A and B are shown apart, each in its own frame.
Chain A
C-alpha cells in the first residue's frame, strides 16, 4: 500500500519536476542567445560610433586646412602683392628725388586698399560684428545681409536672457547660422528663414528653418557643410538634429549646455 502511494506520488511529481527543469533550461537557452546578440549589437554600435568619430575628425581637419589655405592665399594674393607694389613705388619715389604728388596719391590709394583687405581678412577670421554689436545684433545683421542678396523674408526670435552667453557659444552659433543661411541662399530657393534661440535654465535651444526644397536624402549625411556644423556642435558638447520638415524645407535644432561651456 505504501509502495503504491509512493509510486503514485512519484508518477505525479517526477513529470512536474521534469517540466520545471525544461522551463529553466529553456529560459537559460533563450538568455544565452539574447546575451550573444546584445553583445554583437553593442560591438556593431561601437564600430559605427568610432567610424563616425573618425569621419568628424577628418572633416574638422579638412575644414581647418581649407581655411588655412584660403587665408594663405588671401594674404599672398592681396596683401603681399599690394605691399610689394607699394614698396616698389616708394623705391621709385626715393630714386626720383623730386616731389611727385601723383605718385604719392597712388601709394596712399594702394595703402587704403591694403587696409581694407586687412580688415576683410581679419573680419572673416573673427567676426568683428559679434564683438562690436553683440550676439543678437550680429545675427540680425547676418539676416539683413541675406535679405539684401535675395528676396527672402527673415524672422528671428530670441529670449531676453541670452545676452550673457559664453563667448565660445556665441562665436560657434554665429558661424553655424552663417553657414546655414549661406546654404539656404545657395541651394534652397526658399522665401523665408526662421531663427529662434531660447534659453531655459542651463540649456540653449536653437532652431533654424527655411521653406525651401529641403536637403536631398543622399546628401543628408554626406554634405561637408553639415558635417562641419556637427563637429562645431560636438565641440560644445551639444546635440544636433537636422533634416527635412513635414511641411517641406530644411530644419536644424541645436541644444547647447551653457554651464559646461562657461569653463572653456
Chain B
C-alpha cells in the first residue's frame, strides 16, 4: 500500500467517524454543536466530490473556492453562538460578510477558480486562530466555565481541533505559492503534513461531538 493510500484511508476514516457521530446524535446536540455538524456535512460532501473528480482526473481545485467561505460561515456562526453573551454579535457577522466578499473577489479576480486560493485560506486561518485563541482566553474565566459547564468539554476539543489545524495550516497556505515552486517531493511532504493535521482536526471534532451534553 502506497503512503498516499494510507493517508487517504485515514483521512476518510476520521471524517467518517465524525459523520457517524453527527448522524447518531444531531437531534440531541445543542445549537453550537449543530453548527459544527453542518461543517462535518460540508466536509463530507467536498471530500467525496474532490475524490471523485480526482479519480476522473479532473481539476478539483475550484471546490476549495466554495469550501473556504462556507466553512468560514459555519465556524463564524459557531463562535458567534459561543461568544453570544460576551461579544457584540454584529462584530462576527460583519467579519463574516467581509470575508465572504473578499473570498468572492479573490476567486473572481486574483486567484481564479482553477488556482489554489491561498489568500482566502490564509485570511480564514488568521481569523479562526484569533477566534480559537480568544475562546481559550475566555474559558480561563471561572464564571464563563460555570455558564458553559455542560458544553465545556466539547468546546475545548473542537476549539483545539480548529486551532491545531488552522495554525499549522496557515504556514502551508501562506507558503502555498512558494511551495509549488520547489521540488515536487517537498510539495508532497507539505501536503502529507496537511493531511495529518486534517486528521487531527477531525479526531478532535469527533471527540468534542461525542462529549456532547447527554441531557
Residues of A within 8 A of B (CB): 12, 15-16, 19, 22-23, 26-27, 30-31, 33-34, 37-38, 41-42
Contacts and interface: CB of A to CB of B under 8 A. Distances in A.
Given A26-B134, A34-B87, 19 more contacts: A12-B178, A15-B174, A19-B126, A23-B129, A26-B126, A26-B127, A26-B130, A27-B134, A30-B131, A33-B86, A33-B88, A34-B83, A34-B134, A34-B138, A37-B85, A38-B86, A38-B143, A38-B144, A41-B85
Given A19-B174, A42-B143, A34 B126 contact: no
The prevalent SS among residues of B at the interface is helix
Please tell me the size bucket of the interface on B.
Answer: 20 to 34
Nearest to B95: A26
A38 B86 CA distance: 6
A41 B144 CA distance: 11
Nearest to A22: B126
Interface string B44-86: 0000000000000000000000000000000000000001011
A30 B134 contact: yes
Contacts of B133: 23, 27
B189 interface: no
A27 B141 contact: no
Contacts of A27: 130, 133-134, 137
Contact of B141 (A16, A30, A38): A38
Nearest to B92: A30
B175 to A, nearest CB: 8
Nearest to B79: A30
14 contacts: A16-B174, A19-B174, A26-B134, A30-B87, A30-B131, A30-B134, A30-B137, A33-B87, A34-B86, A34-B87, A34-B138, A37-B85, A37-B87, A38-B144
Interface in B149-204: 170, 174-175, 178
B91 interface: yes
Contacts of B138: 31, 34
